[in-house]
Amino acid sequence: MADHIPTVRQRRLAQALRELRHDAGMTQDAAADRMGWHSSKLFRLENARSPRVDWLDVRELLDLYGVPSPHREALIQLARDARMMGWWTPYRDVFTGSYVALEDEASVMRLYHPELIPGLLQTEHYARAVIRAVRPGYDEESVERRVTARLARQKALLDRESPPELLCVLNEAVVRRQATDAHVRMGQLRALTDAADRPRLTIQVLPFSAGAHAGLEGGFVLIEFPSQQDPDVVYVEGIMGDIYLESVEEVKRYQSAFERIQTIALSPEETFKLISELERDEG
């Protein structure tokens, strides 16, 4: 079975339930015993591991902890909302981490990509070529499944009524690398220039001439949410798995790194000019 992907609402509810239990002076085992549950059930609730959140279970927990109104009603509503299925549910075999759920509820995303065009901005043909390159063992059906999921992700996030603000800095290697054949590469460059017209999307290129910079250790994504209850998250993708950083110190380090990268990157206008020149060269 594919891993459960927790939404921001589930993460917020899980955190609230952990804090309320601590405030009530109960251990996890003690609270589960009072509820007549196996301790694993409460563990899943408190760590956003339950595929479906039963708001009636949450209501009983709040009764046990003596949570007063209106906080009680707010958490019950949060539990109801947490039951909502995300657009990615049909693609749980592809999206097995938390990233798409966090991305879906973001208000601002800051991306630094040193190697490839971000998935949200990839064309179908570019995505197919990249997936084949990084997953050489996949058969064609698996490749196409991931291409379809990537395009669905783009539509769900970028074409909705209120998309998040995206600030993307791409290393110059990203737009110069011959990652695909010339036809696919030209189509991808053209798609980048078209994407730059989106009102909440900013694309900058970090030129080779910038020299040593704050992003030399690799790419990352900073995710910011509309509610102050939900702290910023840093997402770092790697061959051995994904890493999510949430401590204030870690987030501040990456915020500072992105600001320094952005400062020395080409302006959006200069970036558009560079990409247009590369398009002409390819033509």
pLDDT, tens digit (0-9, with 9 covering 90-100), for 121-135: 999 999 999 999 999
**Residue 3 predicted with pLDDT over 60:** no
The pLDDT mean for the chain works out to 90
Rounded distance, CA 155 to CA 157, Å? 6
In sign, the C-alpha dihedral spanning 136, 182, 146, 158 is: positive
Q: How confident is the model at residue 2 (pLDDT cuts 50, 70, 90)?
A: very low
Domain 8-82 and domain 89-282, same fold? Reply is no
Run of H or E residues at 45: helix 39-46
- For the entire predicted model, the pTM comes to 0.80
The dihedral built from the CA positions of residue 235, 154, 164 and 112, taken in this order, carries a sign that is positive
Q: Where are the extended beta strands (E) located within 83-231?
A: 108-113, 165-171, 201-206, 220-224
Question: 151: buried, middle or exposed (CB in 10 Å: 19+, 13-18, 0-12)?
Answer: middle
pLDDT for 249 equals: 95
**What is residue 63's predicted lDDT score, i.e. its pLDDT?**
94
| High-pLDDT (> 70) share of the chain, % | 96
Domain residue spans of the chain: 8-82, 89-282
Could you tell me which residue, 87 or 234, shows the higher pLDDT? 234
For the cut 50, the answer to whether the pLDDT of residue 18 exceeds it is yes
Per residue in 164-206, pLDDT tens?
A: 999 999 999 999 988 788 899 999 999 999 998 898 999 999 9
- What pLDDT digit, counting tens, does each position of 77-123 carry? 888 877 777 888 889 889 877 889 889 989 999 999 999 999 999 99
State the CATH architecture for 89-282: 2-Layer Sandwich (3.30)
The predicted model gives 51-66 an average pLDDT of: 89
Band of pLDDT at residue 1, cut at 50, 70 and 90: very low
List Cα–Cα distances, 93 to 27, 217, 235, in angstroms.
Answer: 35, 30, 20
pLDDT at 250: 95
- Tokens 């009983």, located at residue: 60
Class of domain 8-82: mainly alpha
Alpha-carbon Rg for the chain in angstroms? 22
Query: How far is residue 59's CA from residue 4's CA, in Å, rounded to a whole number?
Result: 23
- A 10 A CB-CB count for 122 gives 22
